[in-house]
Chain A
């Protein structure tokens, strides 16, 4: 009698515990996350519809006026153009180089680990500090780059101070900084291709080039697409690197979207307009994400 009561009690307690426990487990992480993501998202939407003044408690509703002033501001279009130039300059080159390096480092060569390490080092280096290092390399008089180029007879340039080439100089640093990350993703994909595929093709008389063209490249396609879209998404969010390297200058030549948002909010205190701009940025990135989901839906599995 006593035993079964005890059993029942523990059973009830056990059930109660199993019902409550999951909420306890997910609560801290979910709550923190919602607080810094969902809440600001709705708040941003609300702010973007008001003439927002941080000092006032009541804000005036102005409908879509902020969105109109974003889209009629030539600086916004200039920033969008600069962001596009940056994206076009970084993404394809970086992916191409990362793929080549990954293919080379997938071969059995001595010191493979050390090479991988060297190519990956910039990825773990804080971007703003990397930017400071590069500023010094780019220095018109005392910089390493001009000194190195002068040995080949190339005239010195003001890499970050000349509006015509400042964006180019930023792009170089960005390619350097992110190459290793993409290399690792490609390496993982290469190692995921079963060896038996190559063996079967070899038996059928395929040569090295055939193997590369008809096995390696097609099987890398999903990875390349994935890397491509995520690169687009992250290059539209570039800020820290540019802010330290050029501060958006010279003559706004490197003023990118997030920098424009940053300036409108924290220099001009136009929080409503900055929020509206954030949503425009979000919309652009959303389009990329949706494309990614659509494309990745047809994922290839090679097992």
Chain B
């Protein structure tokens, strides 16, 4: 929009300006992408090549073998399943509960509404690392250390999700809901059949945010899980790297496979990401 400003001035000035922009933005982009490029290249190198000094840039005899060998060397499939589980279950539950709560706070008047909402908002600023110690003690008293439930229990709700859904549902006109009530629709039906379909963009944004967040979750799984059986990828890959440091070709192949889901999801949905950042970031 404001970029139209760049289109003013004489032609040579515009060309020059574009040239300067490219000269700054391209080297920067190369630097930003370099770790990914290096990762991909390393994942195709053989073990003999990866330990060469100085390192080669392009793989001399590219191989796909590493991607197979990872599965033989470590229980990579199991780590992957653990990650899928710890990303999907909290995402589904937290998005659903946030949608319900957001609707409740936005469209009803009830005793305690403002107090409860205020409590949720004001505790949003409590940093997660500040509560992990008591949270761990709590979860361990519940007998959930080293269990699947323990792994996901802290992700089942999202305060920012509740806040975002409330903001979104507030933009839906009350008349729409009242019209449905006159037609005899129950409150639950209004929520599922009228409000939710209108919330699709907000739901999509939140699903993506939540999924990428949980896919990369590190500190809580690190604390609550210490058996290899339940390790997720963000734990397993540093662990693998620590154990077999010289097999960097395999570590690279494993890392690449581990970040692929979020990269693919992001590439196809980047519009929602930008929307989500501006929604949650700027209006709070």
Contact = CB atoms under 8 A, between A and B. Distances in A.
A152 interface: no
Given A130-B35, A195-B4, A37 B131 contact: yes
Given A132-B237, A188-B274, A195-B2, A44 B25 contact: no
A254 interface: no
Contact of B133 (A24, A147, A187, A271): A271
B53 A141 contact: yes
Which of B5, B18, B21, B238 gathers most chain A CB within 10 Å? B5
B28 interface: yes
Nearest to A44: B134
A286 B25 CA distance: 37
Given A29-B98, A121-B32, A133-B38, A54 B241 contact: no
A155 to B, nearest CB: 13
Contact of B251 (A118, A136, A188, A202): A136
Given A107-B3, A107-B18, A147 B127 contact: no
Contacts of A142: 50-53, 55, 248
Contacts of B193: none
A209 interface: no
Interface in A23-66: 23-26, 28-34, 36-41, 43-44, 47, 52, 54
A223 B282 contact: yes
A21 B187 contact: yes
B180 interface: no
Contacts, number: 300
A158 interface: no
A32 B125 CA distance: 17
Contacts of B105: 26
Nearest to B216: A126
Interface residues of B, number: 108
B238 A118 contact: no
B218 A126 contact: yes
B177 to A, nearest CB: 11
A36 B52 contact: no
A137 B38 contact: yes
Contacts of B164: none
A124 B24 contact: no
Contacts of A230: 281
Contacts of B32: 118-119, 121-122, 176, 179-180
Nearest to A130: B35
A262 to B, nearest CB: 8
Contacts of A24: 104
Interface of B: 1-9, 17-18, 21-22, 24-25, 28-29, 31-36, 38-39, 42, 50-55, 93-94, 96-98, 100-101, 103-105, 108, 110, 113, 116, 119-120, 123, 125-138, 140, 153-154, 156-159, 161-162, 181, 184, 186-188, 191, 212, 215-216, 218-219, 222-223, 233-235, 237-238, 241, 248, 251-252, 255, 258-259, 262-263, 266-267, 270, 273-274, 277-278, 281-282
